[in-house]
Structure 1
């Protein structure tokens, strides 16, 4: 019996819906979700955080940390390293009789990396791609942090900077404790290998055993030790940097030994004015500071030499002369070698008689972190009260740090803002919407298809020669219209040829139109660099389509429709941000982020990598 048309249509619709549902369950986020779908009207979002106990200062910091690519890479590397080493490496504490039981437990917890593991799990949950509005809680991470410090996090003192400080310091301590545990385990392996080698040498004393640094049980672990140190130094804690301060006397120009300190975040004081810049705030920390009424060590020693020289001239006994000559000799030797050394057995003149000098204090960053966290201190403390400095602080999207020879460029990835007064208010965060490899492989299909086409079907035609518009060459332009030459052109070379029409000056719209008209008059087949329509069977490009900003190579006829459409899709500039207020999330632009000058409180910059380009869209 013949089926009714309505029954057939119902069966077809049901089968289609079932196929779509199965595809979406077993292979989501590829075609329906679309990583960079420009024609999809579905509102995209990220995972939010619930605020049940005034936790906005915690939520804003965690959302900002979730957008830092180098931090996520470090967490993956560190936990994978601990998994490969085994738990026995980090459960053993150095044997010390003076080490108390409480201190041993604290060191063991640092080696195990409890907070590091909890933060990775928290950031992984925040970086999920929800297919619906999703809100989670930061309770698990808070419990792990409270267990690590054996105290409760107070909700009365709501300061995002203090919470960030304790989290980063804890992560840094766990990293160094784990590195020391690995070095200790490696030293034990080397000692065991040396003991076994000595025993075998005693058994066969007639034979000479030669050991090399090959990493074997009978070899020296020097190469492994050096390699592990290089790995730890290369993939160290991304927030850790080093700063150096040095003092120079303006009278004798003696420079003190530099004092190095490590930091995980930088605190910059906001000046009390209506508006300022982030560079001016850095000047308050890194600029040369002049201090008056300072007693220089070298000038103090020289003053002691002058005083004792006068005493030597008035000395009457031989014992006094010998003593003074010996003291003067020691003082002059200290002046030449190390004026900061403490000299014992010498009676110095009274401190009131030592001249005071003017010194210059220099501060500079010697080790630049991969991720720099900047805290803008807006607190104004008086004798009776405290208030908030509401000055505008303009901050750039790309931040240069360092001197001329050691300049580093950082890119803004996240900020935390505070709205309200010094005693009450609300925190919210801004986070750049992007993904770094190894979390994605941008243009994997296009690069594979282009490399395969170039290797299997090499073009026999010569490369096209672009000529000035003033002297057209019909023969040279005609060689551009062959089908083989068109098939061998990649997307990059096609776009470069389309934009560099006139040598010596940038391409304009007029020159592009002149180039197209010249090629259409001089050849039978038309090549339109600004066409978006697919090629016909004769290898020609139709000029009826819209004009994108760059040319797209002709997709293969055997390629799937989804892949070809994704190759033809234009990429938006990375100007997408998320504005996150606990569970409320909306999209904004870079201009909106840079406009938060009165509210900006924490800034997160990541060191730029010239060979690593983020993709747009989470």
Structure 2
């Protein structure tokens, strides 16, 4: 130790500067990107990036902030642009050889290039950065991309957030299908040619036995399909389903003091009876009776032969397709056709991965200006859609609210505060384990370690009974079974061929070891199941309340209390393993 006080002070100052530098370098990485990044117990104020509002842009800012909290949308944008980078970019610069009716070559090429898709990804990536200080950006890049795409300018007056959302989602959907059409038209494409398969069956949709289609990992996440069908209450005939695709659902809010989101869905999807409807099959049956009466009164063979041909054609139309009138047959006047009661039913046949719900609050009065319906709409964190055989559960991720009248007001958004796992490798060690297992089909000859786990009652259960037998004695069937099973979290790839532990065994700490295993490292879980549940529940209860560049934290109760102001709701389809307690 140096004797001079000046030397001691110099050493102390140097050590202090080194500690400060280490904290400056490694502190942000740990506290901002680690598990403590959203832990508010440390007293530091959290924030996210806001959007500037230079000229009535709150309708744009609120929608973009709501979209920034949708993981399925960000995952789609990452995959779509990565696919474009892997492929030859020149294939998107050439118009298709055969243009469809009403298409123009320059507009098709603009859709194929996907400029709005690229601009939206850059915008959402910027909004999902975690700043260390208050930061505000502008939505000008996405606005300019839309203006170039539609070759027009967006008015700086107050606009409707739902109209902006609809235009944006429809453009994204058109760009996806244009690019998918190019891929399907390439030589060697599996799914049809010249986009024919894309017309008959949209990409990313898988039919099921119940007639309902579910989305896969491919496809535009907002795109769904709704079908309506009519059944005659007199003859029982059902018309062909009329299918319509959608990127957002508009629900009418009833004019009452309070209602619920389920009631709004019932208005759209419930069956309704309509009187004084003219059924196609009933009209053919009426025409058949009319022709048969004329046949009885026919006097000449020529008239009788013509009527018999007409009767045969009408009967054929009734059997095959009552909606298509037989050609060359004189039908009775439509005013003489009988009127009947029908039942109209509507259902969702393709469930999107992200469903955008618009609550229409406009009340139109022919004698005055339109007004805003101020009814309270109760909504929950989880939304159930579908029937008993095709039940789907959605979780609430974003909300856009409007305060003010029908002519003016202000938009703000709520966005759930949570982190998604890395999209490419949500289980990084599993990817390495799968790769190492797929490299060679010969199992390792090294014996697997014998590890005993302690139950709650103090008894021990071996995770694998190591009797000195090598893993080479395992059968090929057992190896294939273990390869198809996800690798255990916290265990290495060498333990994947072991039999699974008992159900309910969630904590491997402490581990009882024998004397021969004294030198082996002890396997401990980083947190208990109760700790995981508390952390997840606490994280799910936090939201961001965003009003342009003004951002503050909110709770779930604050979000669900905006019943009079709620305007847009964004629900995401729950994945297997998601927490159902939110």
TM range (shorter): 0.7 to 0.9
Give the C-alpha shift of residue 389 in structure 1.
Answer: 0.3
Q: Which residue of 2 aligns with 1:139?
A: 140
2:407 equivalent among 412, 423, 438 = 423
Checking the alignment, whether the CA contact within 8 Å between 2:401 and 2:568 is kept in structure 1 is yes
Q: Which residue of 1 aligns with 2:24?
A: 21
RMSD between aligned residues: 4.2
Give the C-alpha shift of residue 289 in structure 1.
Answer: 1.5
Q: Give the alignment of 1:128-277 within 5 angstroms.
A: 128-186=129-187, 234-277=217-260
Cα separation, 2, equivalents of 1:70 and 1:462: 38
Cα separation, 2, equivalents of 1:389 and 1:292: 29
CA 46–358 in structure 1, closer or farther in 2 if over 3 Å, else same: same
CA 147–566 in structure 1, closer or farther in 2 if over 3 Å, else same: farther
Cα separation, 1, equivalents of 2:426 and 2:179: 34
CA 25–408 in structure 1, closer or farther in 2 if over 3 Å, else same: closer
SS of residue paired to 1:268: strand
Q: Which one is further off, 248-257 or 14-23?
A: 14-23
Cα separation, 1, equivalents of 2:503 and 2:312: 77
Cα separation, 1, equivalents of 2:309 and 2:503: 81
SS of residue paired to 2:572: strand
Checking the alignment, whether the CA contact within 8 Å between 2:272 and 2:345 is kept in structure 1 is yes
Cα separation, 2, equivalents of 1:93 and 1:305: 51
Matched, 1:84 2:86: yes
Cα deviations by residue, 1:252-285 (Å, 9 ceiling, x for unpaired): 0100111111110000000000000111100111
Q: Which residue of 1 aligns with 2:340?
A: 357
SS of residue paired to 2:132: coil
Checking the alignment, whether the CA contact within 8 Å between 2:546 and 2:552 is kept in structure 1 is yes
2:356 equivalent among 363, 373, 376 = 373
Q: Give the alignment of 1:138-537 within 5 angstroms.
A: 138-186=139-187, 234-383=217-366, 384-439=368-423, 458-459=450-451, 464=455, 466=457
Q: TM-score, normalised by structure 1?
A: 0.73
Cα separation, 1, equivalents of 2:247 and 2:56: 26
Cα separation, 1, equivalents of 2:397 and 2:574: 11
SS of residue paired to 1:186: coil
SS of residue paired to 1:161: helix
2:535 equivalent among 568, 571, 580 = 571
Q: Which one is further off, 436-445 or 605-614?
A: 436-445
Q: TM-score, normalised by structure 2?
A: 0.78
CA 481–26 in structure 1, closer or farther in 2 if over 3 Å, else same: closer
SS of residue paired to 1:345: coil
Cα separation, 2, equivalents of 1:392 and 1:494: 49
Checking the alignment, whether the CA contact within 8 Å between 1:69 and 1:435 is kept in structure 2 is no
Checking the alignment, whether the CA contact within 8 Å between 2:184 and 2:190 is kept in structure 1 is no
Cα deviations by residue, 1:296-324 (Å, 9 ceiling, x for unpaired): 11111111111122112222222111111
Give the C-alpha shift of residue 612 in structure 1.
Answer: 5.5
Cα deviations by residue, 1:18-73 (Å, 9 ceiling, x for unpaired): 22223347877346x93354642111111110000110000000000000000001
Aligned residues: 508
Matched, 1:12 2:15: yes
1:598 equivalent among 564, 567, 574 = 564
Cα deviations by residue, 1:416-451 (Å, 9 ceiling, x for unpaired): 0000110111000000111222259889899x9xxx
2:68 equivalent among 66, 69, 76 = 66
Cα separation, 2, equivalents of 1:26 and 1:498: 29
Cα separation, 2, equivalents of 1:566 and 1:133: 35
Cα separation, 2, equivalents of 1:584 and 1:99: 48
Checking the alignment, whether the CA contact within 8 Å between 1:89 and 1:181 is kept in structure 2 is yes
Cα deviations by residue, 1:184-213 (Å, 9 ceiling, x for unpaired): 12359999xxxxxxxxxxxxxxxxxxxxxx
CA 494–576 in structure 1, closer or farther in 2 if over 3 Å, else same: farther
Give the C-alpha shift of residue 462 in structure 1.
Answer: 7.6
Give the C-alpha shift of residue 178 in structure 1.
Answer: 0.1
Q: Give the alignment of 1:527-566 within 5 angstroms.
A: none
CA 407–122 in structure 1, closer or farther in 2 if over 3 Å, else same: same
Q: Which runs of 5+ in 1 are unaligned?
A: 192-221, 449-454, 467-476, 483-489, 500-528, 536-555
Cα separation, 2, equivalents of 1:120 and 1:270: 33
Cα separation, 1, equivalents of 2:570 and 2:140: 24
Checking the alignment, whether the CA contact within 8 Å between 2:30 and 2:36 is kept in structure 1 is no
Give the C-alpha shift of residue 95 in structure 1.
Answer: 3.2
Cα separation, 2, equivalents of 1:152 and 1:50: 19
Cα separation, 1, equivalents of 2:117 and 2:99: 29
Cα deviations by residue, 1:131-188 (Å, 9 ceiling, x for unpaired): 1101000001100011000011123351000000000000000000000111112359
CA 229–166 in structure 1, closer or farther in 2 if over 3 Å, else same: closer
Cα separation, 2, equivalents of 1:481 and 1:107: 64
Cα separation, 1, equivalents of 2:265 and 2:576: 25
SS of residue paired to 1:255: coil
SS of residue paired to 2:42: coil
CA 40–57 in structure 1, closer or farther in 2 if over 3 Å, else same: same
CA 157–344 in structure 1, closer or farther in 2 if over 3 Å, else same: farther
Checking the alignment, whether the CA contact within 8 Å between 2:158 and 2:408 is kept in structure 1 is no
Cα separation, 2, equivalents of 1:120 and 1:397: 26
